[in-house]
Structure formats: structure tokens, C-alpha cells
Amino acid sequence: MPFVLLAVAFKVLFALVLLPFKILGGLVKGILGLLGGLFGSPWGGVGLVFGLLAALVVLVLLPLAPLLLLGAIVWLAAKAFSPAARTA
């Protein structure tokens, strides 16, 4: 019986020592949750818009990539074989 009372006393003492940290952690969690609720939606919307734009660019440019590469090669070849303009 004395060991049980000693264990309970240590648990109570341990809980009292950690109580300020639990209160501080709850306050920080509440403040961060409030800030996340206030600023999470606009930034989430911005991220959604940029994500959709990136997906659109990838879905449009990826199929056109071989044609763009071929066009760039033809343009570079035409530029390489054209006479250079001379300035006096």
C-alpha cells in the first residue's frame, strides 16, 4: 500500500511540474490554429491556382515539346546558315 501511495504522489508531482508546459502548449496550439484558419484559406487558394496553372502548362507543353524542339532546331539551323549582317 505505501508503494501505491508513493507512485500516486510522484504522478501528481510530475503532473504539477508539467502543467505550465501543457497550458503553454495548448495556448500555442490554439493561436496557431487560429492563424491557420485565418491565413490558410487565402494561401490555400493561391496554391490551388498555381497548381492548376502548372498542370495546365504541363498538359499543354508536354505534348507540344517535340514540335517545339524541332522548330528550335530548324530555327537555329536557318540562323546558322544565313549570312551575318555586316555593320560598317
Q: pLDDT tens digits for 2-61?
A: 889 999 998 998 888 888 888 888 888 888 887 777 777 777 777 778 888 888 888 887
List the one residue out of 42, 39, 41, 21 whose CA is nearest residue 31: 39
Q: Which parts of the chain fold into alpha helices (H)? A: 2-81
